[in-house]
Structure 1
């Protein structure tokens, strides 16, 4: 049973989850202003890790991953004993670990015109890490959709399933349109990472409402 003293910690951890997408995209937007040589239309956000200011994007991956891990712990504490309370937080934690891995292992640059693409070990690890993040969140969408459905939150269940379908669809569109691939991929990430932030915000609100009801019951 949750104690009153544990609930502030739960909400603080979930607040970290809420911050993941805003932090990632705000820092990326800041870099767009600092990096006139970078073209988001054709280059993925990961490519901001190149150059003298590349450390900013590396830090962005690491910070976002740490926030996601904290958010996953908050989900585990808040959803313990509920449907999806085991697999959902684990998948969210893999999202965080994947983002950290994407920061630790940098991407390979695009090949020069006419040159065959080559993949280094570091670049392969970056791709695997980012795929872990992306696929884990897609799976988490389905897991938590079942949870939301079980507690009567039909709108959140539909939103979760729609996110799980839209994000990979955008990736496919980006692959088919190289001239806008970077921008479309960024949109796919925003859809998926934004879902996690909003879910953490919703679960945090549930914890606050639960605390309020407990306080009212105790007062009565």
Structure 2
């Protein structure tokens, strides 16, 4: 007489989206707050400072003059918050597509704000009040511009990398937006030769979208 041993079919393994822990949430809050705080402080200063004109002056120039320390502190705060956000993204995405490079690129973006604080922009276009126009870049002005360019290129690259992670999570519209926003940011920078408002709008778009995509990742439960 023979007996048969019952067999059990293995339960198929399904991957679920990891839920952010408390520490990860706190770190990612940096990504939520960095853009709105930086932009709100910049706009408030631009409206209050004598001689500043949003159609002629970049927000970076607010770090010049008597009250320039406020904008310098604004740069430093943004650098801290963005670095925290990069750490939070690493904790959240490390096992998903794009989980390696997206946090690194956001960290580069954060470092560019630190460089902007250490190496201020040049005076010009009437700000600080009475400053003559000049086409010559100082060393610190050149470093400021280069760091900003590198930082925003890194942010655009981060969005493209994040598109993979968002698509893997089933957020196709967010993945598409993450591929289109970098194009809009770069187009805005290209238009800055015609008006500084184009540059300001592009920079604001990048910061705002980082807030939005961080919020999407924080509330993800799929």
Matched, 1:14 2:28: yes
Larger radius of gyration: 2
| Contact map agreement 2:83 2:111 (CA 8 A) in 1 | yes
Q: Which of 31, 45, 59 is equivalent to 2:73?
A: 59
**Whole-angstrom distance in 2 between the partners of 1:183 and 1:119:** 20
Q: TM-score, normalised by structure 2?
A: 0.84
> What residue ranges of structure 2 are gaps of 5+ in the alignment?
1-17, 126-131
2:215 maps to which residue? 201
1:124 maps to which residue? 142
Q: TM-score, normalised by structure 1?
A: 0.85
> Deviation string for 1:71-110 (max 9, x for gaps)?
0000000001100000000000000001111111101223
Higher helix share: 1
Matched, 1:156 2:174: yes
1:36 is displaced (CA, Å) by 3.2
> Deviation string for 1:113-142 (max 9, x for gaps)?
5x5x22222112111211121110011111
| Contact map agreement 2:109 2:154 (CA 8 A) in 1 | yes
**Whole-angstrom distance in 2 between the partners of 1:173 and 1:135:** 16
> Deviation string for 1:46-75 (max 9, x for gaps)?
111111011111111110111000000000
| Contact map agreement 1:64 1:99 (CA 8 A) in 2 | yes
State the secondary structure of the residue aligned to 2:57.
coil
Q: Which of 189, 201, 204 is equivalent to 2:203?
A: 189
2:103 maps to which residue? 89
**Whole-angstrom distance in 2 between the partners of 1:198 and 1:72:** 15
CA RMSD of aligned residues (A): 1.7
1:144 is displaced (CA, Å) by 0.7
Which shows bigger deviation, 29-38 or 79-88?
29-38
Matched, 1:23 2:41: no
> What residue ranges of structure 1 are gaps of 5+ in the alignment?
211-220
Matched, 1:168 2:186: yes
